[in-house]
Chains A and B, each alone.
Chain A
């Protein structure tokens, strides 16, 4: 693992300024219309009449996605979030970003944490060019800032390497091209607390290398980085601390190597037979 340690950007370790404090956080999703197939109309009526008492009987299912999670993150840390599918990683990240309300407990943050991603703001019917502007504005950049960084964003995405594609509607892009442009737009802004959800796994190998580099740059400028990934290598490369969520509960919180070893044992061995 020596080469990974040397790759890490030097950040002040053991800093004592907290950036995110999670205090006994519960997150619950409520899903309508999951009652049994027959009689679901009566179930809906039931739901409206007897709101609280009969939620379950009336076809509202509650999904307890995150259960009593507490942790403190400090300035300069890069924290990995791991866990099997559906363990609540993305949900927790969204709650830290203030995008999902918590059921119990509270999340305190220093400044406004931002989720790295603009997919939802972009429109396939618009040209790539207009989407760069729209995405930038949606992230809270000013018109001038977007104009200033426009060329960088387009160059970084490499969309125009094979011709003038930036003036075509985004729906005509291949999925890889679309993903690259989305990442380039999202990574154009600096953040205090940066939350990254599996953003590294997009595009071809050369673009992945460039995006990893960009993430490292963002990390240097950001106070704290959270990274959700199923790629154990990118967690090891980027993070010095790892939170392991399983079924919504925080199972482990500690130094990367320690937690990753336990996690790999849990999921049935390491991804690949390792040399070291």
Chain B
């Protein structure tokens, strides 16, 4: 076998520089090269139907083998909220300091879950779909965006359940509920941006997916999902003065508290940090634009490994 392997290629292949010149002469482009940012955005826009179809498909495929089927879309977040209520409301007694504790908690859990699962899904968006990345040609940002969109659809189911819970616990319907739309849009932009960043990091180092649950859990506990940052501050006078503003300005806390402010009448504007809308828009822009550019910078490398 070895003696045949030494046969040189018999084809008349021109020298290397000739090939590059030939390609240039006929206007061929480098295969798999990264497009410019505007071209990338255009390609992504052209695939918008794929992005939405992929998100919806993932969402419906999720529970298609369960007997209760799509009922789980609503059941899962409700069960989550019930567990947190049992631990933090009943066992630890956090509810003593917070009016309307159940609406407060459930809103927090749902909004937090939206960010958490978008980031988790983003981390695995490329590394978990290498088959797709290696088989078809499309702007890779379609994957993390699609996963974030799937989580948004999931959240809309949860919001339906949330409205019922709110009304059952006597929270009055108010005009401020309309604020949920801009809050969700800002949060979605933020989530998508972080998902894009995590997708690039997860594509290079898949180990990050193992680390993320711990980081996310820490983030959850400091974001006031099941307790009020505002109330906690009043019980700890020894804290340096920057701690509470820092906790309140973290993006998860900002979106959670804005949502509570929009929905729950007993959650007052005084509990929000100063310039809260500016912070919310700022986080969305920084993460959204920064994340997109960061992801695009490595476009041609996805799929190696």
Contacts and interface: CB of A to CB of B under 8 A. Distances in A.
Interface of A: 17-24, 29-30, 32, 70-72, 94-102, 105-110, 112-115, 117-121, 123, 125-126, 130, 133-134, 137-140, 142-143, 169, 246-247, 249-254, 266
A99 B10 contact: no
Given A108-B28, A137-B49, A101 B301 contact: yes
19 contacts: A21-B23, A22-B19, A23-B16, A24-B16, A70-B13, A98-B137, A99-B136, A106-B20, A109-B29, A110-B27, A112-B137, A125-B60, A125-B61, A134-B57, A137-B47, A137-B54, A251-B7, A252-B7, A252-B9
A101 B303 contact: yes
Contacts of B19: 21-24, 70, 72
Contacts of B137: 97-99, 112, 114-115, 140
Interface residues of B, number: 47
A21 B135 contact: no
A101 B292 CA distance: 21
Dominant secondary structure of chain A at its interface with chain B: mixed
Contact of B28 (A110, A115, A254): A110
A83 to B, nearest CB: 12
B183 to A, nearest CB: 30
A108 B303 contact: no
Contacts, number: 161
A114 B60 CA distance: 29
A134 B30 contact: no
Interface stretch (B91-99, B126-134, B174-182, B260-268): B126-134
A101 B32 contact: yes
Nearest to A90: B134
Contacts of B31: 20, 95-98, 106-109, 113
Given A120-B131, A126-B57, A137-B49, A18 B28 contact: yes
Contacts of A98: 31-33, 137
B133 A99 contact: yes
B190 to A, nearest CB: 27
B73 to A, nearest CB: 15
Contact of A109 (B10, B28, B64): B28
B30 A107 contact: yes
B28 to A, nearest CB: 4
Contacts of A115: 135-137
Contact of A100 (B4, B47, B61, B303): B303
Nearest to B17: A23
Contact of B13 (A249, A251, A253): A253
Contacts of A71: 11, 13
Interface string B261-278: 000000000000000000
A120 B28 contact: no
A23 B17 CA distance: 8
Given A23-B23, A105-B16, 13 more contacts: A21-B19, A21-B28, A70-B14, A72-B14, A99-B134, A106-B30, A107-B32, A108-B29, A108-B30, A109-B30, A118-B136, A120-B135, A133-B53
